[in-house]
Amino acid sequence: MSGIRLMLRLLAIQRVLIKYGLDEFVWATHLLRPVGWLRRMLPRSASSNKPLGIRIRLALEELGPIFVKFGQAVSTRGDLLPLEVALELSKLQDQVPPFDSGIAVELLETAFGSRVDEIFAAFEREPLAAASVAQVHSAKLATGESVVVKILRPGVRDAIDRDLEVLYAVARLAERYWDEGPRLKPVEVVGEFEKTLGRELDLLREAANAAQLRRNFEGSEQLYVPEIYWDYCRSNVLTMERVSGVPISDIETLKARGTNIVRLAENGVEIFFRQVFDHNFFHADMHPGNIFVDIEDPDNPRYVAVDFGIVGSLSTRDQHYLAGNFLAFFKRDYRRVAKLHVDSGWVPADTRVDELEAAVRAVCEPIFNKPLKDISFGLVLLRLFETARQFHMEVQPQLVLLQKTLLNIEGLGRQLYPELDLWKTAKPFLEEWMRKRTNPITHIEELLKSWPEISEDLLLLPEIAHRVLRRLVDEDAANAKGSHGSAVRTGRRHPVAATTVAGPTLLIAAVLWLGLDVAPAWPGWVAAVTGLVATIWPR
């Protein structure tokens, strides 16, 4: 983008910001600072009396679809934005006119190298829905299956690149001139948005996400994921099974059809925790527009998920410490919460546990004024992260994505059933998961899964042990030469070198032998006892 075009776009953005009373930043920029005195002479906008979150949302809607998408992404950063602003931005919905159906047909024919009537038995020209990045058409395969076809907008990548350049320019100005800029890190936020949007523009990646989620819930009575038709997918085209159901937000219809609302709400909580802890792969964009309900059996309603552009996962370490934090929090064991933050590496290792414990207690204790059923898991995470940030916690994107998803699940669940007690559903699940994680058998099973990699490393163990032993013996011999020359001359070797390596090596070998259940077992036990004695024997 040329400098003139960028300047004109920035001025247009500033006009919109002033219109919605967001001028505290505009007048601080280097573009208008020399004439900042004019601010006092201009009439105030009628919108300037509205709450900040509403003004930001309205401004983003007027600035266009990419800015709306950015607002949606920023709404997940509850760790950076005020809560009321984040919640308001989460209401943003794309209202974008569809692009011409003739162009859609042309894009399909280019992608597949065939005429559209050769690709599909039927293709509906009128789109079912349109968004800022893609639009969706209904179609039918030659084999008779009803499908939906998602097609990227033409030129969307170029348009996004242009608007990203503008967003970066605005973010740099904000970081330099806005008082809150250094804390909110707008350039970093735009960078995260760019990565997220890049993933959403690859429809093959979205198809892979859907296929993985479908495998994870194969045969589930709680969640259904549409089938992906890979022969009809390209980087800019996604074809999947057409599903039907009642939008999750249409509570009146759900109730009128006799849906078991309590079960539906509780299933939503269980689905979330199962995705995060059992599968370690969670749908991270579960807002009402992406969730439907299959009520063929109203007493056993089933969620139907669509739109898989954003998914998340956690490291095993994060899973463990997250579950531990939840359990410790609801037991009011604030020292345990603080220690878990340090042990997990979420805060620097030199953080004083007692100081973090006091800060966590001060923030979290008032939450327990409410009944447990009224406590928000998402807000608990938010409060913990806000507190830990005072101790230089670097919030990782996957944890923020998890927090946003949890807030969505809570919002949906309590919209369905205001008395929903998330803790009642989550506690037994988390306790059982922690029991499994700390069970020695689980560790052995993980060891066996990793055996192919371990076996390759073990082949190198004799050579490594020989080299280490040789080096240690040579070092001991050199040291002994200076102070105990007679010992060297008689050929005696220092015992420390051998036991330093031999003990732990024997212990490792014993664990592997016993873990693999190799018969006979006695060599493993002999190696274990010998290794233990060699390791702890006084030197």
Q: Is a pLDDT exceeding 80 seen at residue 252?
A: yes
In the prediction, which pLDDT does 23 show?
64
In the prediction, which pLDDT does 518 show?
46
Cα 130 to the center of its chain, rounded Å: 26
Of the candidates 114, 176, 184, the one whose C-alpha atom is nearest the C-alpha of residue 395 is 184
In the prediction, which pLDDT does 516 show?
47
Quick one: 258 and 122 in the same domain? yes
Q: How many domains does the chain divide into? A: 4
Quick one: 206 and 195 in the same domain? no
Tell me if residue 155 falls in helix, strand or coil. Answer: coil
* Residue numbers annotated as active site: 285
Quick one: 527 and 451 in the same domain? yes
Q: Is a pLDDT exceeding 60 seen at residue 506?
A: no
Quick one: 306 and 318 in the same domain? no
CB proximity list for 44: less than 8 A, separation 6 or greater: 21
**Contact 136/238 with Cβ under 8 angstroms?**
no
- Which pLDDT band, with edges at 50, 70 and 90, does 281 fall under? very high
Q: Tell me the pLDDT tens digit for each residue of 154-194.
A: 888 877 787 788 778 778 877 777 666 666 677 877 887 78
Quick one: 67 and 112 in the same domain? no
Quick one: 169 and 262 in the same domain? no
Quick one: 244 and 289 in the same domain? yes
Tell me if residue 246 falls in helix, strand or coil. Answer: strand
Quick one: 306 and 400 in the same domain? no
Last residue in a domain, options 438, 470, 505 = 438
Quick one: 86 and 140 in the same domain? no
Q: CA neighbours within 13 Å on the CB side: how many for 233?
A: 17
Quick one: 208 and 284 in the same domain? yes
Last residue in a domain, options 311, 326, 347 = 311
Sign of dihedral through CA atoms 39, 43, 49, 52? Answer: negative
Domain of 457 in residue numbering reads as 445-536
Q: Report the C-alpha gap between 7 and 176 in whole angstroms.
A: 17
The CATH number linked to 260 is: 3.30.200.20
Residue indicated by tokens 């859609």: 104
In the prediction, which pLDDT does 280 show?
92
Tell me if residue 236 falls in helix, strand or coil. Answer: coil
Structure tokens belonging to residue 530: 């010998």
Long-range contact pairs involving 42-51 (C-beta distance under 8 Å, separation at least 24): 42/18, 45/18, 45/19, 45/20, 45/21, 47/19, 47/20, 47/21, 48/20, 48/21, 49/21, 50/21, 51/84, 51/88
**Contact 267/303 with Cβ under 8 angstroms?**
yes
Q: Tell me the pLDDT tens digit for each residue of 310-352.
A: 888 888 888 888 899 888 988 889 999 999 888 888 888 889 9
Quick one: 341 and 430 in the same domain? yes
Distances (CA, A) of 287 to 110, 284, 408, 410: 33, 9, 6, 11
**Contact 68/94 with Cβ under 8 angstroms?**
yes
Last residue in a domain, options 386, 405, 438 = 438
In the prediction, which pLDDT does 473 show?
76
Quick one: 107 and 167 in the same domain? no
Distances (CA, A) of 193 to 1, 157, 160, 167, 493: 20, 14, 11, 10, 62
Q: Is a pLDDT exceeding 70 seen at residue 40?
A: no
Listed in order, strand segments (DSSP E) in 20-159 are 122-123, 129-130, 134-140, 146-152
